[in-house]
Structure 1
């Protein structure tokens, strides 16, 4: 009987030395189930963006209801990630994952009964709960399935590639469904996929629990949920309405409550969230990579889709196809990133990936004006290749935690992605909006028409259509202002990514090997 010797700080594995595999015999087939589940969850987020106009036309929601249709999913998901991950450590990660699949499928099916905006909000809240059960469970199970850290890094690279695919394919699938069916199809698409995922999960995935599950106490759950919901809501409100009493109050409450939650966890020997994981420099670098990349990517996809549709006149389906270069870059780079890290070092891949993505953003500002689609495609491709470093970031995060704390590591990583996406839209998206408002010339328009034209490109184009032939100048000027705001956003995103690259380079030890961070 052979014995696998795991590397440690006292017995490091030299870079390039093969490590004996001791993972689950059906681990690669199990990975296919986990990657496919992530693909569907990410696709579901982006499909809604395409379906929202048809949904709004059918149900006629108010402005507040429309915001809640969009926002309730990330609020519920972000708020429940930590307590649900802790519960999965105790109850069983496969059981939690399959329960999440079931809830996700049932919630999607319930859309057939939805005949009001309130019904859709409730469905989206249930989907958020299902997503909170699915997302961290996939990472925890990958940690359990793949005991060889290098195999795990490859598996996480494939998992990360599926996230890139889901983000790009979602609008394409959504556009195709909406051309043939009603907006309900954007939800019903999940049902057959979840049925297959449940059957495959029962067959292929082993059960996994923590040997030392964290404490789940009512006060800790209340603090975690309240703090995350308040923080995410505050950031979203800040992006929509600027510095208001509501946004500042929510941010302050979120910060204070989360600080109390962290201090509570530090006082406990078996906390619900193992915040001591942040003591590891490589772990902090992995989380920073995930947070920064998610921030920049979310804003780029949002602004890029608007530019393609409103400035270039692409249909939703055409815009989805036009955004594919980012996914292609991620698909190519993510599975290869761990092998590259094995040859040139994890630090180089982590910091280098952020730098490559930063160059992609900077292209938006450095290319000759006016920006053309080939220029945007080149920027998207570079950003996609750069985000391949997320595969190594995931490997560092998950390997930086002992097996019994995999749930905490997964919850932290997923929270980084969710919070990053919210920050990207709220902060970088708001920056682009401010630059647009400063650059657009509404001529002599006053009152509601002038305000609408200044608020957004979509509003300016609507006002221009109402003006008829005399509105052509407004449409052209507003389109030019939005293109300029996209270029300046590229500069901001590029600086953010390059600064993160420098910080990550300083945090990660030069000789860090993915096997060396294994506990």
Structure 2
């Protein structure tokens, strides 16, 4: 019996899971905590517009570009060792960022933080597969893992707001230091070590190619979303795709590839990555739309918007922790379809609420969106990890996180671009008379531009702002309905993709 029944986790593994949650919370906090500090660091460091954009974005770029390499590196040198190395690097670079005296130094520190941060998610997820052998327990552990990211994203703006009320902008980076010290003290005692005993040396050229491919594609997609030069944006995406083809062909020739492409031959693995892209497409795409709506249409401050976003983050936590219970009663296909259907209905309500400017209904629907999409992220991660062989767990976890980054970038780019086109069309028909050409151009660039243009107008600013708010709300209605249709199609498709897969708890 002992040869067929997986060993159940002990108290040590469950306490170890709490330890694993610490860097995951920190990883997510670092994606959101800086946003509130932008005004004060701008006053202190005086960055150019381009430098400010890089300060905000470069962390996410380097996280996305490094995930696959770091996941595979954990398989090579040991997942716990990689986690501890990443913790030291994250703590030290956080200190560098906190006390940066120039914009260039802060950009450099944020890039290093991205590389260090990329060690955290793959190593923690792959360690979970070693610590929790029982299928049901592994699903619960992954649910906690997903919930820890949601918790970090939710509390990031709140913690940042509190710190900025009492300290300078660099204090938002110092949160990492005590957390990483605790991790370094307890992780060696509570977390097991695991690495692939047959792993070869890390292929540096493959690592460089994978980073270049992901960075180019993510940059191109993000540039499109922000209204960048079309030729440059599409050129970056095409360059990334070409590098990706070169990377894939190299993997087929190597004895010990950075990425084992045979993983994609496993139906559950490929399907789980695909559905993960859909989930984060909707989540990240609407996150940006709703955040702009709360601040630029409803007039909330960034801190107020962060407080109102707390239920949304907590909704993702609740949805993640409910997933094991749902899987004990339904197959993964039906849980995924249910979650996506709930998300589609939430998007429908968000769209219909936008013109009425009803904040409470908006937050309730946005929270429902998180609750619906949380099982998608949890089950996708569980299926990716359970369908990959143990010696490839690090690479599999890196791919899972990379698919999340791609889905989020696509959602921001596609839904954001559609909203911008609709906004421009709607505002162009309702612009107040007598505006200068410069004011019209600024207003049509986006609702943020309309706010900037209104500040320069002695008269007519109120009318311009109201026209921009109406145009944005109407564009948000159509964009949300389109998003709802895409997510509902994904829900229907999911049943066909996953209907043969039984829940782990069976």
TM-score, structure 2 normalization: 0.94
Match of 1:500 in 2: 490
Structure 1 residue ranges (4+ consecutive) displaced by more than 3 angstroms after TM superposition = 20-25, 266-270, 366-369
Secondary structure in 2 aligned to 1:467? Answer: coil
Match of 1:239 in 2: 225
Tell me the distance in 1 between the aligned counterparts of 2:359 and 2:206: 49
Matched, 1:435 2:419: no
Provide closer, same or farther for how the CA distance between residues 214 and 397 of structure 1 changes in structure 2, counting only shifts above 3 A: farther
**Residue pairs, 1:71-82, within 5 angstroms:** 71-82=57-68
> Do the aligned residues in 2 keep the contact of 1:289 with 1:354 (CA within 8 Å)?
no
Provide closer, same or farther for how the CA distance between residues 308 and 405 of structure 1 changes in structure 2, counting only shifts above 3 A: same
Match of 1:5 in 2: 4
Gaps of 5+ in 2: none
The CA deviation at 1:367 is 4.1
Provide closer, same or farther for how the CA distance between residues 37 and 285 of structure 1 changes in structure 2, counting only shifts above 3 A: same
The CA deviation at 1:269 is 4.6
Matched, 1:188 2:174: yes
Provide closer, same or farther for how the CA distance between residues 112 and 37 of structure 1 changes in structure 2, counting only shifts above 3 A: closer
Tell me the distance in 1 between the aligned counterparts of 2:415 and 2:444: 18
Match of 2:388 in 1: 401
The CA deviation at 1:317 is 2.1
Q: 2:477 aligns with which of 476, 487, 490?
A: 487
Match of 1:319 in 2: 305
Matched, 1:424 2:411: yes
Deviation string 1:363-420 (CA, Å, 9 cap, x unpaired) is: 1223483231122112112111112212122111110111101011101101011222
> Do the aligned residues in 1 keep the contact of 2:63 with 2:117 (CA within 8 Å)?
yes
The CA deviation at 1:284 is 2.1
Matched, 1:451 2:441: yes
Match of 2:350 in 1: 364
Match of 1:471 in 2: 461
**Residue pairs, 1:92-491, within 5 angstroms:** 92-213=78-199, 216-242=202-228, 244-367=230-353, 369-389=355-375, 390-440=377-427, 441-443=430-432, 444-491=434-481
Deviation string 1:189-224 (CA, Å, 9 cap, x unpaired) is: 221122122222122111111233365223312221
The CA deviation at 1:92 is 0.9
The CA deviation at 1:352 is 1.6
The CA deviation at 1:494 is 1.2
Provide closer, same or farther for how the CA distance between residues 403 and 154 of structure 1 changes in structure 2, counting only shifts above 3 A: same
TM-score, structure 1 normalization: 0.92
Secondary structure in 2 aligned to 1:241? Answer: coil
> Do the aligned residues in 1 keep the contact of 2:76 with 2:201 (CA within 8 Å)?
no
Match of 1:35 in 2: 21
Tell me the distance in 1 between the aligned counterparts of 2:355 and 2:206: 52
RMSD between aligned alpha carbons?
1.9
Gaps of 5+ in 1: 7-19
Deviation string 1:270-295 (CA, Å, 9 cap, x unpaired) is: 32112222222222222122212212
The CA deviation at 1:315 is 2.2
The CA deviation at 1:328 is 2.5
| Greater alpha carbon shift after TM alignment, 126-135 vs 331-340 | 331-340
Secondary structure in 1 aligned to 2:169? Answer: coil
Tell me the distance in 2 between the aligned counterparts of 1:186 and 1:213: 39
Provide closer, same or farther for how the CA distance between residues 214 and 261 of structure 1 changes in structure 2, counting only shifts above 3 A: farther
Tell me the distance in 1 between the aligned counterparts of 2:240 and 2:161: 37
Q: 2:37 aligns with which of 23, 27, 51?
A: 51
Secondary structure in 2 aligned to 1:387? Answer: helix
> Do the aligned residues in 1 keep the contact of 2:351 with 2:480 (CA within 8 Å)?
yes
Tell me the distance in 1 between the aligned counterparts of 2:174 and 2:94: 6
> Do the aligned residues in 2 keep the contact of 1:281 with 1:508 (CA within 8 Å)?
no
> Do the aligned residues in 1 keep the contact of 2:333 with 2:495 (CA within 8 Å)?
yes
> Do the aligned residues in 2 keep the contact of 1:231 with 1:255 (CA within 8 Å)?
yes
Matched, 1:63 2:53: no
